[in-house]
Amino acid sequence: MLEIRNLSKSFQGLQVFSGIDLTVEDRPGEKSPLIGVIGPNGAGKTTLFNIFTGYAKADGGSVIFDGKELLGKKPHEIVRAGLTRTFQSTLAFRQLTVKENVLVAAYLHEDFSFLERFIYPLVSLKLTQKKTRDAQERAEKVLSMVGMLDDMDMVSGNLPYGKQKKLGIAMGLATEPKLLALDEPAAGLNPHETAETMELLQEINRGGTAVLVIEHNMKLIMTACERIYVLSGGRIIAEGLPQEIAKNERVIEVYLGKGMTAHA
């Protein structure tokens, strides 16, 4: 589904990473992959996401998604191709309610023809009713999945931080991605919310959406993910099952040797 090959990136001559390979497999008929990316702060995890979602340019390498090259594509084209991401910080339309936010994502991410864009909504509601109804249904499904039906009518700007992060995931889901890429969905959350988020990721994944998640919290990622990539010093230093990663000496060195705890 997603094949990152030999990807490299530098900022003003300073190498962030090089030779990055990362795969999210297509497994039709089987459980969708749930894959983790970990690494110390500044390792380049967000930069990696930025590159394959159209927010930053790569120096070299390729990113194939569903057989098509993603490098050079714009963010909205990548969303429409079926790869949606969330950001480390919360991002929503702060004046709108939770439901409206999800509706925006459910409704507007599609490609509209000129007629659909300008004329149909003016002359007849019927012609847009199907799209609207579909979007409504999808929004409600997504909200029930993330457990936010009760907060549906809250203005999103007034939500507590934990719920704002959840809303970000809900908006991503509403665009119906094949692959959902999450940048530290649990950062800044309390332990209870963190556990909830991990359960949510697993539920999304069981629903048939592939998930690629950046996470700082080792324990969390160990329990949820089936495979983990460790990014450090500009390289993938380890890749494998959670139990293999937990025993990997270089990983332990990076994570524990430098004074970081497993809960960092």
Partner 1 sequence: MDIVLQQAANGLVLGMSYALVATGLTLVFGVLRMMNLSHGELYMLGAYILSALMQYLGLPYVVGCVLSVLLVALIGYFFGMTVVQPASHLEPINAMLATFGVSTLLSNLVLLIFKATPRMVSSPFQVVFQIGPVFLTIQKLIVVGMGLLLNLGVYLVIHHTTFGKMIWAISEQRTAAEIVGIDTKRMHNLAFTMGAVLAAISGVLVSALYSLAPNMGSGIMTKCFAIVVLGGLGSIPGAIIGGLLLGLAESLFTIIIPSQWTPAIAFVLLIVLLILKPEGLIGKSKGVKL
Ligand X SMILES: Nc1ncnc2c1ncn2[C@@H]1O[C@H](COP(=O)(O)OP(=O)(O)O)[C@@H](O)[C@H]1O
By three-state DSSP, how is residue 116 classified? helix
List the interface residues with partner 1, window 154-173 (CB under 8 A).
171-172
Number of CB atoms found within 10 A of residue 13's CB:
5
Query: Virtual CA dihedral for 209, 210, 215, 217, nearest 10 degrees?
Result: 70
Residue closer to ligand X, measured from CB, 43 or 142 = 43
What does the angle CA 84 – CA 60 – CA 230 come to, to the nearest 5 degrees? 60
Site string for partner 1, 99-138 (x = CB under 8 A): -x--xxx-xxxx-x---xxx--xx-----x----------
Question: What count of other Cβ atoms lies within 10 Å of the Cβ of residue 235?
Answer: 16
Which of 79, 230 has the CB closer to partner 1?
79
Q: Which residues pair with 228 in a beta bridge?
A: 36, 240
Residue from the set 19, 42, 60, 160 that interacts with ligand X by CB under 6 A: 42
Is 50 a binder of Mg ion (CB under 5 A)?
no
Smallest gap from Cβ 199 to partner 1, in A, equals 23
Of 35-64, binders to partner 1 (CB under 8 A) are: 53
Using CB under 6 A as the binding rule, the residues of this chain from 44 to 63 that contact ligand X are 44-47
CB atoms within 10 A of CB 116: 14
Among 94, 206, 247, 263, interactor with partner 1 by CB under 8 A: 94
